[in-house]
C-alpha cells in the first residue's frame, strides 16, 4: 500500500519548528521536515486550512526532500494581526519564510493550494520569489473573479448568485463542532462526490479549527481578488492542477492560469475531484511536486 494511503489522525512531526517575523511584525509558524541538504519544497496552504492540510505530501516527500510548510497568518499556529489581511501581506509572509529557510541564491519548488497559490501569484514580482523559485505548482486556485465564477450555489451566473455567494462565504456564524451534517455541507461545497469519508472528516477537522475572525477577514480579501498581473509576471516553470468537480475554483480558473502563465508546462485536470485536491488526490499532487523538484532542482547535477 502506498505511503500516501496510510493516513493517521496525527500530522507528521516536524524535524524543526521556527517562528518567522514578517514585514509588519506578524509571527509566522514554520515547520521543517525531511533531511537537511535535500532538494527543498515549500508549501503554502489555502483559506481556512493549516500545515496539517499537506500531511500526505509531507509524509511522502520528506523521505528524500526537505519540506517546508507554514501556517498562513491567522491560521494554525500563526496568530492573527488586526487589519493585517491583504494579498501584499501574503507575499510579505512568503518572502519572510523564504529568507529564513533558504540560503542566498538557493532554489526551491514552491507549491500553493487555493489561497496558497494566490500567495505565489502575489509574490511573483518580489525579489525573494525571483531569487528562490525554481518552479511552482498552482493547485485548485485562481487569480480573479472567484465569487463570480463560484458554483457553490446552484444558480444561474449573474449578480444575484455573486451577491449570495459572497454572503455565504463571508458569513460570520461559527462553524461549531464537526458533525455529520457539517461534513455533508463541507463535502458538497469543497470536495468531489466520490470523496472517501475519512478524507472528508480530515478536511472538516482542519477547516473547523480555523478561527471565525480569520475565516471572515480572508473571505473579503478573496472576494475582491485581482492577481492577473502577478500571474503574467510569474516567469518560472509552472504546473497547474485543478479538479473537474471543484465548485469553489472551477476549472475555468485553472485554464485561465495555464493560458496566462509565461511558462506553464502542464495543465492537470483531475476528474471528479473537488477543491481539496491535495487531500482528495494526494498521490497525483505529490507526483507533480516530485516531478518539478526532479526536473528543476536537479537540473545542474543531471547536466554534469
User: Residue 139 contacts by C-beta under 8 Å, 6 or more apart in sequence?
Assistant: 111, 112, 113, 114, 116, 117, 240, 241, 242, 277, 278, 285
Mean pLDDT over 225-252 rounds to 98
Distance (Å, whole) CA 139 – CA 143: 12
Contact indicator for 261, 238 with CB cutoff of 8 Å: yes
pLDDT over threshold 70, residue 6: no
pLDDT tens readout for residues 132-185: 999 999 999 999 999 999 999 988 889 999 999 999 888 888 889 999 999 999
Higher pLDDT, 44 or 153: 44
Mean pLDDT over 29-41 rounds to 97
Mean pLDDT over 50-65 rounds to 97
pLDDT over threshold 90, residue 82: no
> Per mean pLDDT, which range of 83-97, 122-136, 167-181, 244-258 is the poorest?
167-181
pLDDT over threshold 60, residue 204: yes
In degrees rounded to 5, what are phi and psi of residue 14? -70, 145
Mean pLDDT over 34-63 rounds to 97
Tell me what pLDDT residue 303 has. 36
Question: Closest by alpha carbon to 118, among 254, 225, 233, 3?
Answer: 225
pLDDT tens readout for residues 256-302: 999 999 999 999 999 999 999 999 999 999 999 999 999 999 754 43
Higher pLDDT, 215 or 9: 215
pLDDT over threshold 70, residue 9: no
Contact indicator for 40, 7 with CB cutoff of 8 Å: no
User: Residue 26 contacts by C-beta under 8 Å, 6 or more apart in sequence?
Assistant: 73, 78, 79, 81, 84, 89, 92, 93
Mean pLDDT in the chain?
Answer: 93
Where residue 2 falls among pLDDT bands split at 50, 70, 90? very low
pLDDT over threshold 60, residue 5: no
- pTM of the complete model beyond 0.85: yes
pLDDT over threshold 80, residue 4: no
> Per mean pLDDT, which range of 17-26, 109-118, 144-153, 294-303 is the poorest?
294-303
Residue 256 corresponds to which cell in the numbers above?
485561465
Tell me what pLDDT residue 299 has. 54
Tell me what pLDDT residue 3 has. 39
> Per mean pLDDT, which range of 3-17, 36-50, 208-222, 282-296 is the poorest?
3-17
Residue 65 buriedness (CB in 10 A; 0-12 / 13-18 / 19+): buried
Amino acid at each position: 500500500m502506498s505511503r500516501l494511503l496510510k493516513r493517521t489522525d496525527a500530522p507528521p512531526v516536524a524535524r524543526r519548528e521556527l517562528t518567522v517575523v514578517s514585514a509588519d511584525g506578524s509571527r509566522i509558524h514554520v515547520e521543517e521536515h525531511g533531511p537537511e541538504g535535500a532538494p527543498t519544497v515549500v508549501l503554502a496552504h489555502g483559506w481556512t486550512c493549516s500545515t496539517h492540510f499537506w500531511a500526505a505530501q509531507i509524509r511522502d516527500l520528506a523521505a528524500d526532500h526537505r519540506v517546508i510548510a507554514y501556517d498562513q497568518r491567522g491560521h494554525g499556529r500563526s496568530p492573527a494581526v488586526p487589519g493585517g489581511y491583504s494579498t501584499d501581506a501574503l507575499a510579505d509572509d512568503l518572502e519572510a519564510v523564504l529568507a529564513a529557510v533558504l540560503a542566498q541564491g538557493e532554489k526551491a519548488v514552491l507549491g500553493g493550494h487555493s489561497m496558497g497559490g494566490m500567495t505565489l501569484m502575489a509574490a511573483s514580482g518580489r525579489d525573494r520569489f525571483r531569487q528562490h523559485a525554481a518552479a511552482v505548482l498552482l493547485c485548485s486556485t485562481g487569480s480573479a473573479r472567484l465569487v463570480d465564477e463560484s458554483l457553490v450555489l446552484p444558480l444561474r451566473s449573474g449578480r444575484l448568485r455573486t451577491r449570495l455567494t459572497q454572503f455565504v462565504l463571508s458569513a460570520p456564524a461559527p462553524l461549531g463542532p464537526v458533525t455529520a451534517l457539517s461534513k455533508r455541507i463541507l463535502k458538497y461545497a469543497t470536495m468531489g462526490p466520490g470523496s472517501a469519508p475519512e478524507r472528508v472528516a480530515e478536511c472538516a477537522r482542519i477547516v473547523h479549527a480555523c478561527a471565525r475572525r480569520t475565516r471572515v477577514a480572508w473571505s473579503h480579501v478573496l472576494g475582491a481578488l485581482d492577481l492577473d498581473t502577478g500571474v503574467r509576471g510569474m516567469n518560472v516553470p509552472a504546473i497547474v492542477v485543478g479538479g473537474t468537480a471543484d465548485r469553489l475554483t472551477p476549472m475555468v480558473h485553472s485554464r485561465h492560469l495555464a493560458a496566462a502563465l509565461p511558462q506553464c508546462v502542464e495543465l492537470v485536470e483531475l476528474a471528479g475531484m473537488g477543491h481539496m485536491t491535495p487531500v482528495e488526490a494526494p498521490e497525483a499532487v505529490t507526483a507533480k511536486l516530485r516531478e518539478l523538484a526532479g526536473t528543476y532542482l536537479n537540473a545542474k547535477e543531471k547536466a554534469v
